[in-house]
Amino acid sequence: MVRLTLLALAVATGLGLASPATAADTLTIYTYDAFAADYGPGPGLKTGFEKICGCVVNFVATDSSIGALRRVQLEGATTPADIVLGLDTSLSGEARATGLFAPHGLSFDKLSLPAAWIDPDFAPVDFGYFAFVYDKAKTPNPPTSFDALIKEPASFKIVVEDPRSDTPGLGLVLWVKAAYGDKAPAIWAGLKPHILTMARSWSDGYGLFLKGNADMALSYTTSPAYHAIAENNPGYGFAEFSEGFYPQIEIAGILKSSTHQALAQKFLGWLASPDAQAVIPETNWMYPLTGTVPAGFPPAPAKVLSLDEATITALKSAWIDEALAAIR
């Protein structure tokens, strides 16, 4: 979820020039609820950008990033949104295919990311790695692979999220597929006895885990850092799976229908700056694009898996159906 970098374009777009804000200078950003929440990065990013843009930033929360995409699809050219923020690379192909997004015109060639960034339509926001989180006291010897998890007693339970409604759930589908390819259905069948529930959202699923209903929950490698830093509770860890880890890169895109194209572009350029990225780690609990992380954040995994966008876009629905069929 990382090395110091600053977009040269940030200077070229005049991020330091502010002018009096008017109603016409309101930048409307659709995002998922946790991003816009008081405890999320939204308020800090809003304050930071408003200081330099002479505008008003209006975050509009939806129930999930998938929900944000579905909303602009329904609204079409009449949407009041200028930007959709919080999609990720598992959804970028689907979002691009809607034809609703405009090229951002920015350069992101020096950021610290799991892979070089060359996407002309979507800008990176932050990144992380999916992982199973466990309570160290309850599970002192967590499984070290999907195969080891499958071999745990049937009483060993995990909480996962629904890939149709939640990006971590979709991330797990891609993780299993990237690690096992055509053998993915067998992995899902092996996981079936261990799945306590497939929650609609990450917050629902992780909440069940925190209440002690499961031994592990699908989350992120940085989730234990949240508990250690924000709650002063070092009692959580993430299982180090030998297959490697699958990344999530959160993205933002400018809508073609936006009447604030230049302002939206300026926001995406500023979002990659050190000032903006400093807000991310301890509010969104993801890795920033700059490489500057708080003490207590885990290093990036040594083995990172990947799938290309075209393959994901073409086969994602079939992979979801494959996973759901195996665990029913």
**pLDDT tens-digit series, residues 234-253:** 999 999 999 999 999 999 99
Whether the pLDDT of residue 7 is over 60: the answer is no
Exposure of 190 in the CB half-sphere (CA atoms within 13 A): 15
Average pLDDT across the chain, whole number: 91
Task: Express each pLDDT in 55-96 by its tens digit.
Answer: 999 999 998 888 999 999 999 999 999 999 999 999 999 999
Within 8 A by CB and 6+ apart from 135, the residues are: 212, 215, 235, 236
Whether the pLDDT of residue 99 is over 80: the answer is yes
Whether the pLDDT of residue 163 is over 80: the answer is yes
Q: Where are the domains of the chain?
A: 9-127+249-277, 128-246+303-327
CATH topology of domain 128-246+303-327: D-Maltodextrin-Binding Protein; domain 2 (3.40.190)
Whether the pLDDT of residue 8 is over 80: the answer is no
Q: Which residue has the higher pLDDT, 10 or 257?
A: 257
Triad 90, 129, 182: Cα angle to 5°: 60
Whether the pLDDT of residue 5 is over 80: the answer is no
Cβ–Cβ under 8 Å, residues 168 and 88: no
Whether the pLDDT of residue 14 is over 80: the answer is no
The reported pLDDT for the residue numbered 228 is: 97
% of the chain at pLDDT higher than 90: 86
Mean per-residue pLDDT, 21-36 = 83
Note whether 9-127+249-277 and 128-246+303-327 share their fold.
yes
Mean per-residue pLDDT, 203-214 = 96
Is residue 320 classed as helix, strand or coil in its secondary structure?
helix
Whether the pLDDT of residue 148 is over 90: the answer is yes
Tokens 């999320």 belong to residue: 40
Triad 160, 166, 169: Cα angle to 5°: 35
Question: Which homologous superfamily does the CATH classification assign to the domain defined by 9-127+249-277?
Answer: Periplasmic binding protein-like II (3.40.190.10)
Residues in a beta bridge with 29: 59, 83
Whether the pLDDT of residue 296 is over 60: the answer is yes
The reported pLDDT for the residue numbered 279 is: 97
